[in-house]
Amino acid sequence: MTSRIDWVRGNCRLLRAIAAEFATTQPFRDLTIGTGIHLEPKTVALLLTLKTGGARVVSTGNLNSTQPEAVEYLRANGVDVVGDRTTDEREHDEYLRRVLAAEPHLILDNGGDLFARYLDQPYERLLGGTEETTSGRMRLAKLRSDLSRPILVVNDSPIKQFAENRHAVGQSVLESFLRITNRATNGRKVLVFGYGSVGRGIAATFRSAYASVAVIERDPVLRLEASFDGFQVPERDAGLTTAEIVITATGAVDVITEADLDVLRDRVVLINAGHFPAEIAVERIAADARVAQRQDGPDGITTITLTDRREIYLLAGGHMVNLGGPRPLGNSIESMDLGFALQARCLEAIAAGRAGPDDVVVPVPSSINAMVAEAFLELYR
């Protein structure tokens, strides 16, 4: 092993097996695949697997999460990487449009960024593609009739739901909290917003780390489920008044805003685990008249000091915490190997014409789920 990327590639057993197969079957021969996905070691393993399958891969990252070593490694291995790490939405928009300028036959999207922009300037040869996330599915479902190409939503595979969203994100958000703050969770009051797959995994993982966890969830049925799972389900403001660590995992915008400044307690830690950095309205909070000072620390901790001297700590600037801060690791290799094996198999199915025009923004076919599950059980024996 010479680098972390080599370590990750070596441990992605599913992707390694798929790459060995693709080297012979060449499912993407003469095709261009365009991607806009977090560029970090595990996506390197995925993109190089697609390349081994014969594709020209044109790729850019997501906002704020691009890792320079990943970009360097991809470029050295023949992937066209557009742009570099950026937190500037306009710059990011330009990178995405440059990926689309290559008129990829297949799009591997993360958050719906590429498919949504494709509609601004559609081109004939797009066969379809995949979407990785909940947030992307919500965005693209509204555009179904315009997209009219097969788009398989990897997020909606049961495998992604339990392996990544629930188990892996819970673990990596806990790992990120420990890594960035170096503080203990024992006995701390944690408030989780959202009780979807991601929120329930975070709640369970922090409880297993001896925190006292409460949940705020809009949907009363899920709120009831959280209660049955043993979490407190306080009224929103009551929860915020006592919480020492607040974690958003909703896929919604403005979950925590300047309107909450009066109820947040001194030294509260705010963390976002949702895909977009809009769950915590960071800029509006920082610009509020009750804020005396904002200091962006070097290690992913922003300190917001209020005029009444209370301090609020924000991790990773409100961006997805498990890909932020010093030496971010993201979700576990196993969970991403599973999700990316689904990606590779879905793109293969679309390239082979095995997904039809009615399959626009639909879950991964059960035959692919079964194939990937069996392969994992076999290869990780």
Ligand X SMILES: NC(=O)c1ccc[n+]([C@@H]2O[C@H](COP(=O)([O-])OP(=O)(O)OC[C@H]3O[C@@H](n4cnc5c(N)ncnc54)[C@H](O)[C@@H]3O)[C@@H](O)[C@H]2O)c1
Residue 252 or 263: the one with the smaller Cβ distance to ligand X is 252
Angle made by CA atoms 36, 270, 241, in degrees to the nearest 5: 145
> CB–CB of 56/34 below 8 Å?
no
Complex with ligand X: residue 134 or 205, whichever CB lies closer: 134
Q: Which is nearer to ligand X, 54 or 234 (CB)?
A: 234
Smallest distance, Å, CB 283 to ligand X?
18
**Are the CB atoms for 12 and 333 separated by under 8 Å?**
yes
- Residues within window 207-266 making contact with ligand X, judged by CB under 6 A: 216-219, 222, 249-252, 255
Q: Between 61 and 199, name the residue whose CB sits nearer to ligand X.
A: 199
Site for ligand X in 159-218 (CB under 6 A): 164-165, 169, 193-199, 216-218
Verify binding: residue 43, ligand X, rule CB under 6 A: no
Distance CA 349, CA 271 (A): 37
Q: If you write DSSP's letter for every residue of 141-194 in order, what string do you get?
A: HTTHHHH-S-EEEGGGSHHIIIIIIIIIHHHHHHHHHHHHH----TT-EEEEE-
CB of 16 to ligand X, least distance (A): 23
Q: How many CB atoms neighbour CB 293 within 10 A?
A: 11
Q: How far apart are CB 54 and ligand X at their closest, in Å?
A: 29
Alpha helices (runs of H) in the chain, residue ranges in sequence order = 4-11, 13-25, 41-52, 68-76, 89-101, 113-118, 134-141, 144-147, 158-159, 169-181, 197-208, 220-228, 236-242, 282-287, 333-351, 366-379
283 SS3 class: helix
Contact flag: residue 31 with ligand X (CB under 6 A): no
State which residue has the least CB distance to ligand X: 196
| Size, binding site for ligand X by CB under 6 A | 29
Q: 139 near 111, Cβ under 8 Å?
A: yes
CB 281 within 8 A of CB 247: no
The answer to the question of residue 135 lying near ligand X (CB under 6 A) is yes
Q: Shortest gap between Cβ of 332 and ligand X (angstroms)?
A: 10
Pick out residues in 319-338 that bind ligand X (CB under 6 A).
320, 322, 331
The CB-of-27 to ligand X minimum distance in angstroms stands at: 26
User: Measured from the CB atom, is 223 or 354 closer to ligand X?
Assistant: 223
What does residue 318 show for φ and ψ, rounded to 5 degrees?
Answer: 90, 0
Q: Which is nearer to ligand X, 198 or 375 (CB)?
A: 198
Near ligand X in 350-369, by CB under 6 A = none
Nearest distance, CB of residue 80 and ligand X, angstroms: 25
Q: How far is the CB of 257 from ligand X (least distance, A)?
A: 10
**Which residues, in sequence order, are bridge partners of residue 256?**
280
Site for ligand X in 271-310 (CB under 6 A): 273-275
For residue 103, the minimal CB distance to ligand X (Å) is 27
- Least separation in angstroms between CB 373 and ligand X: 19
Residues pairing with 270 in the sheet: 246, 314
State the DSSP code for 365: P
Give the nearer residue to ligand X in terms of CB position, either 273 or 344.
273
> What's the helix, strand, coil split of the chain in %, to 5?
45, 15, 35
Nearer to ligand X, 216 or 312 (CB): 216
Residue 249, C-beta contacts closer than 8 angstroms, at least 6 positions apart: 169, 192, 193, 194, 196, 198, 199, 202, 273, 274
Applying CB under 6 A, which residues contact ligand X?
Answer: 133-135, 164-165, 169, 193-199, 216-219, 222, 249-252, 255, 273-275, 320, 322, 331
